[in-house]
Amino acid sequence: MSRKYFGTDGIRGQVGEFPITPDFVLKLGWAAGKVFARQGRSKILIGKDTRISGYMFESALEAGLAAAGVDSLLLGPMPTPAIAYLTRTFRADAGIVISASHNHYADNGIKFFSANGTKLPDEIETAIEAQMDLAMTTADSASLGKARRVEDAAGRYIEFCKGTVPRGLTLKGLRIVVDCANGATYHIAPKVLSELGAEVLELSTAPDGININEGCGSTSPELLRKIVVAEKADLGVAFDGDGDRLIMVDHQGEEVDGDELLVIIALALKAEGQLQGGVVGTQMSNFGMELALKQHAIPFVRAKVGDRYVMEELASHDWSLGGESSGHIICRNLTTTGDGIVAALQVLQAMVSQGRTLAELKASMNKLPQHMVNVRLLQKSDPTQLPKVQQAVRDVEQALDGQGRVLLRPSGTEPVVRVMVEGGDLAKVRQLSEQLAGEVERAIQV
């Protein structure tokens, strides 16, 4: 059964445009509440990032859940992985995240976690969508749900993060610039690192509702790179708006992306005899990552793009480590979803235990040049199925002559198709990706 509302990462879009409207979210809260309440009295957590529309959607979800007879626990601004963790520790039936992750403040979204802190099973999402088709009703007054705020949510999650590294680990002597993207980690990440002993210089920790991800965070690391060099810091860490992904910057101001971070963590875990199986990447993972892991006899598989698919591959192999180039890293032995702070701590642990700089650890992988172009879609479609586009792909693959790869992928979160070419020569890769993007644009205009 095809989904009407849920995408690969919940429901997302521009605020005020269907389905990201107060009335839709109100009914979504009710529908979810009705589904989860089928097994008796239910309790659901609600957390959000710092964008201004979060207030409106938090109230709408709370009202919808109450109408369905479901209690809600309001966490306030919290990283997405914190909501997954707290859903488990509060023994809640589900957790709801109000966030559009790395998107502009004018977007927002709703996604759910199961009682286990994982993405909802397809059958639950299907049941919620089916419930959406029914007329909304209200429980009798004695059965209405209640809501309360969880005052110590941040402290609980800070202690969890610190507990993911050995008790004796100290970051004393490390000078770290932390860019929180004016997002959900603003009151969490600096405290985690400083309480572990680091000297922390804060960036983008003053959210005002509209400055989330604005020229800062993991999607815009330019400022972080400059500050790390100017302040003579040992490294920089940047999170996205909801804290489920990160990139890092070494002391030279060079970016360290998700692929490189995965290699660093994998090699450290293997050296300690703690790597469970291999590593899961995605179709977008750099080929250099595959080569680096192969050199150390670490198995590697590619999943479809999206943390849902990375998690599925991890579960099917019973492996512990996987992630995406964007910095969405899953340490399945420690938590149930991508967690920027937890992943950053794993890299910092490797630095401290090995006595090496981030730049030295990064050198374990030699990245091949990649170039990606986003082609905007004017209507929902999959141009990768068009014969002219498929021929254009074959032409580029022939030009690469086996020394690279091509990937066309419709985004699961934005109205674009991503055109990526990878190979040994940057100029050639850029030229071929632009050439292919042009062919895609022409094909979708016909």
Note the pLDDT tens digit of each residue in 232-242: 999 999 999 99
Tokens, residue 298: 């670490």
What's the pLDDT at 444?
85
User: Residue 115's closest CA among 42, 192, 193?
Assistant: 42
Gyration radius (Cα) of the chain, Å: 22
Dmax over Cα atoms in the chain, in whole Å?
Answer: 70
Cα distance between residue 140 and residue 137, in whole Å: 10
Tokens, residue 179: 């860019």
Angle at 301 between CA 241 and CA 353, to 5 degrees: 65
User: Residue 77's closest CA among 93, 99, 105?
Assistant: 99
User: Under 8 Å CB-to-CB from 369, ≥6 apart: which residues?
Assistant: 422, 423, 424, 425, 426, 429, 430
Q: Are 147 and 33 in contact (CB under 8 A)?
A: no
What's the pLDDT at 446?
65
Cα distance between residue 26 and residue 59, in whole Å: 8
Tokens, residue 214: 């604005």
User: Residue 364's closest CA among 222, 253, 265, 241?
Assistant: 265
SS3 content of the chain, % helix, strand, coil (to 5): 40, 20, 40
Whole-angstrom CA distances from 383 to 9, 135, 219, 411, 441 are 21, 37, 26, 12, 9
Backbone angles phi, psi at 386, to 5 degrees: -75, 135
Cα distance between residue 30 and residue 27, in whole Å: 5
Tell me how long the chain is: 446
Residue type at 68? A
User: Residue 114's closest CA among 132, 90, 88, 89?
Assistant: 88
Omega within 30 of 0 (cis) for the link into 19 = yes
Q: Are 288 and 366 in contact (CB under 8 A)?
A: yes
Q: Which phi-psi region, left, alpha or beta, contains residue 256 (left: φ > 0; alpha: ψ -120 to 50)?
A: beta
Cα distance between residue 48 and residue 41, in whole Å: 24
Residue type at 29? G
pLDDT mean for each 10 residues of the chain (446 residues):
80 97 98 92 94 98 98 98 98 97 97 94 94 97 97 98 97 98 98 98 98 97 98 98 98 98 98 97 91 95 91 96 97 96 98 98 94 87 88 93 85 84 92 95 83
pTM of the model: 0.89
What's the pLDDT at 2?
65
Q: Hey, which residues does 420 pair with through a beta bridge?
A: 372, 407
Cα distance between residue 341 and residue 184, in whole Å: 11
Average pLDDT, the chain: 95
The set of catalytic residues is 101
Residue type at 230? A
What's the pLDDT at 284?
86
DSSP E strands, 19-120: 43-48, 71-77, 94-98, 107-114
Residue type at 203? L
Q: Which phi-psi region, left, alpha or beta, contains residue 327 (left: φ > 0; alpha: ψ -120 to 50)?
A: left
Give the other-Cβ count within 10 Å of 144's Cβ: 15
Lookup result for tokens 């849902």:
308
User: Which DSSP category does 120 fall into?
Assistant: P
Cα distance between residue 411 and residue 77, in whole Å: 27
Q: Rounded to a whole number, what is the distance in angstroms from the first to the last CA of the chain? A: 30
Lookup result for tokens 């990878």:
422
Backbone angles phi, psi at 48, to 5 degrees: -155, 165
